[in-house]
Amino acid sequence: MRVKELKTRLLVCETIKTHSGATPTLGGLGIAESAALDGVTAGTVAASKAVVVDANKDVGDFRNVDVVSLDAGASGVAGSVDVFPATAAKGKLTITAANSAGDTVTSIVNASQAAARVYTIPDAGADASFAMTAGAQTLNGVKTFGSGVAFGAGATLDVDSAAVAATGNDTTQTATVTKMAGTITTGALTTAANATTAVVLTLAGVVAGDIVMVTLAGGTNTTSVTVNSAIATTDTITVVLRNDVLTTTALNGTVAFHYLWMKA
C-alpha cells in the first residue's frame, strides 16, 4: 500500500468519526472493548482487562468471584477447593471428595441457626473422624466434656472404668485409695452372715439426686460379698455392702469397685 493511499484511508476514518458521530469498530469491537484486550496475558487476571485462559485452560488470580454453583473437577477428574489463612506459609484447608460406592451425592447442609455461629475443628492429634448424630459410631481416645452429658429416653451406656480397691483381711479395715476425683476414706467390712456395712466414697460435686452406680470389679478377695445399694449425698456416695456367706469368714484380699456418676 502506498503512503498516499494510507493517508487517504486514515482521513476517511477520521471523517466518519468527526462528521457522522459514529465510533469506528474493529471486527465488531468498540474502542473500549479493544482497550480491554490490549496487553492481556493469557492465564493472568489484570485490573480492567479481559480474562483469557492459557494453553492449559488455567487462569489466576481472581480476588473475589461470585458464583451460583461451583464444581471443582468433573466426573472421573478429581477436584479440590483450597482455602488459605491470612498469614503466608501457615497451611491451608483443602476440601476433596473420596470415591463412593455408587454415583451418589454427599451434601453438607446446615440446620436453621438462631444467630451467627463459628464451628471450630479441634486438633485431634492424629487423623480422626467426626461423630454424627445418627448411626453407629466408634469413638476412640479419651474425651473430656466441659459440662454434663445428657442421655435421651431409652438410651443405654456401657462403661468400662478403672477400679478402686479397699484392702482388708479381718472383720474391719481402713483404707484411703484415690480413684478419679473420689476417695474411699474409711469403712468396716463385716464378715457376719448376711450382715451389711457401709463404705463411704468422697466425690466432690456429687449431690443428692444424682445417679450413681457401683459394681464389684474383682480384687483378690475370695469371700463372697455384693453391693446392696449406692446412695448419693453432698460430696459423698455411700455404698452398702452385703456379706453373702452363710458362715463367718474373714476377708482375705482386696475388694474392688467400679463407680459411674451421672448428674441428675
pLDDT digit string (tens) for 213-225? Answer: 887 776 676 777 7
Predicted confidence (pLDDT) at residue 104 exceeds the cutoff of 80: yes
CA distances from 96 to 56, 70, 80, 83, 99 (A): 22, 13, 5, 12, 10
Q: Are 62 and 43 in contact (CB under 8 A)?
A: no
Predicted confidence (pLDDT) at residue 164 exceeds the cutoff of 50: no
| pLDDT value, residue 54 | 93
* pLDDT, average across residues 7-21: 46
Residue 149 confidence class, pLDDT cut points 50, 70, 90: confident
| pLDDT value, residue 146 | 78
Least confident of 17-31, 109-123, 142-156: 17-31
Number of H helices, E strands in the chain: 2, 10
Bridge partners (DSSP) listed for residue 93? 83
- What pTM did the predictor assign? 0.48
Residue 11's SS3 state is: helix
CA-based nearest residue to 133, from 155, 103, 166, 160: 155
End-to-end Cα spacing for the chain: 99
* Torsion angles phi and psi, residue 148, rounded to 5: -65, 160
Question: What residues contact residue 239 under an 8 Å CB cut-off, 6+ apart?
Answer: 198, 199, 200, 201, 214, 227, 229, 230, 257, 259
Domain positions in the chain? 1-53, 164-262
